[in-house]
Amino acid sequence: MNYRPLLRSLAASAAFAAALALAGCETDGTTPSARSLQPISSAMLAEIEKKNMAKESPILVRLFKEEAELEVWKEDKNGQYALLKAYPICRWSGELGPKIKAGDRQAPEGFYTITPGLMNPNSNYYLAINTGFPNTYDRANGRTGSFLMIHGNCSSAGCYAMTDEQIAEIYALARESFFGGQRAFQIQAYPFRMTPLNMARHRNSPHMAFWKMLKEGYDHFEVSRREPKVDVCEKRYVFGAETNGRFTPVGKCPEYQVNEDLMAAVTEKQQRDDKQFAELVNRGTATVAVKTGSDGGMHPTFLSAIQPYNVDSDGVVRARVAAGPGTIPANIRLPSERAPDQPTGSLAIAEPSVPRSTAQVASADSGSGGWFRSLFSSAGSQSSSSGAAEKTSPNSKAKAKPAPAKPTQTASRPKQQTEPQHASANPGAIQPKPQPKVQEANASPTPTPGGNLMSGAQPTVPTGGFENRFGAWR
């Protein structure tokens, strides 16, 4: 009989409990919850095998506010990411646009690196994954806030809220990727799918310059199906950069290179998208309101499951509702007009205009304490400014939450087509070759650590790490 899985589970449970006792984190107890150790379902394991993936292979998460969807991508045996599953988001708060300051109810947008220390097994919102906001880009631009999560309980105040059933599966997939050796996974949070049609619909937004910058990272992933490398310099994201210099968030960018094949593929996509965007604008594609006055959104799957008689005059759900993707608890406010006593979302704040660029993963630092972090990093690892647990639930019962220069338009005219709801196989995905093409920015270089994490992230696994503790049982 193979005892390794059992031994690993027992050893992990003991380590989790010890770590919690030492960390002093804000949790609902001193031992890891059973819900944090739930196995991946047999149906999900079958889907993983069907898609030529391994249970413990790396993951990547994408979030889309307007569509209210969370995607989990997983690396297949060919070394590229493929879409494993798209989850409808039960609730997100605020308006489209980045989080600017604490209390604005905005859910973050950008590129975030999730280390084991950001996994909270004892969340008041069932289970939670801290986004690590503010990351290096956010801090460089003076943005404030903390404890912004992906969690359960379908209740959001600046978070991406799933049902308890959904977050249990997402949490398990992340946990297994850490067991498989992934030191950190990337979250890409977008206002909407970065398609020409959506960019045309939102072209009047004061956040458009910021969104165009996010689209560069989006395009890098779309054409390569690999996690984009993200750095920050001159207060902006830089994607796909290779350099011997050092990136400083507010300093000048060092000279860097971007893989020639990757740059060519991204440029081609940007030219195609720019052409289609111009055609849509010329045809008078309608724009959407910059501010809607509503507080966030909920996927139609959940909205359609809630009957009118089960909602009070304040837009609060009276009794729990069973929906396909999970259970909507009672006392959840629907995404309608804000209550008078609620803070408003971020106002129209002009974003700085930035040139297109390409680079290393904009990361959040690993959270302080945390039982999961203790499995993967030494006791001497630095802690982050972001916490690993959020505050107590507002409900009465505690509940489980470079680019190339701007390209010219191509001669060919792409066909206008309806944008797909979910990402599909990308026939244009590339396998970047090692030959780089130099693109110069500014400033003198100094050595920087390698790897796939943005400056500021600390996902290292030194002597006290997971492999040293549990390698004998793997």
- Is 343's pLDDT higher than 50? no
Least confident of 64-68, 192-196, 445-449: 445-449
pLDDT tens digits, residue range 315-334? 999 999 999 999 999 999 99
Selecting among 25, 90, 154, 159, the annotated active-site residue is: 159
Specify whether the backbone of 235 is left (phi greater than 0), alpha (psi in -120 to 50) or beta.
Answer: left
Strands 160-161 and 149-151: parallel
C-beta neighbour count of 344 within 10 angstroms? 15
> Does 422 qualify as catalytic in the annotation?
no
- Is 359's pLDDT higher than 90? no
- pLDDT (average), residues 180-205: 98
- pLDDT (average), residues 286-310: 92
Q: Which of these, 70, 146, 71, lies nearest to 108 by C-alpha position?
A: 146
Please report, for the chain, how many H helices and E strands are present, in that order: 10, 16
> What is the per-residue pLDDT for 372?
53
Considering the chain, what percentage of its residues have pLDDT values greater than 90? 61
Query: Residue 411: which pLDDT band, with cuts at 50, 70 and 90?
Result: very low
What is the rounded distance in angstroms from the CA atom of residue 117 to the CA atom of residue 132? 10
- pLDDT (average), residues 114-135: 96
Query: Residue 130: which pLDDT band, with cuts at 50, 70 and 90?
Result: very high
Better-scored residue on pLDDT, 13 or 300: 300
Instruction: For residue 102, report the phi and psi dihedrals to the nearest 5 degrees.
Output: -55, 135
> What is the per-residue pLDDT for 473?
35
Full DSSP string of 240-301: S-B-SS---SSSPPPPEEEEHHHHHHHHHHHHHHHHHHHHHHHTTPPP--S--SB--B--HH
- Is 448's pLDDT higher than 60? no
- pLDDT (average), residues 219-241: 98
> What is the per-residue pLDDT for 336?
73
Least confident of 161-165, 424-428, 444-448: 444-448
Query: Residue 31: which pLDDT band, with cuts at 50, 70 and 90?
Result: low
> What is the per-residue pLDDT for 429?
53
- pLDDT (average), residues 25-48: 80
DSSP state, 367?
P
- pLDDT (average), residues 88-113: 96
> What is the per-residue pLDDT for 337?
53
- Is 390's pLDDT higher than 50? no
> What is the per-residue pLDDT for 379?
38
Give the DSSP H or E segment for 60: strand 59-64
> What is the per-residue pLDDT for 430?
55
- Is 32's pLDDT higher than 50? yes
The answer to pTM > 0.75 is no
What is the rounded distance in angstroms from the CA atom of residue 130 to the CA atom of residue 391? 12
Contact in structure between 271 and 403 (CB atoms under 8 Å): no
Selecting among 25, 90, 151, 299, the annotated active-site residue is: 151
Query: Residue 418: which pLDDT band, with cuts at 50, 70 and 90?
Result: very low
> Does 151 qualify as catalytic in the annotation?
yes
pLDDT tens digits, residue range 39-55? 999 999 999 999 999 99
> What is the per-residue pLDDT for 444?
40
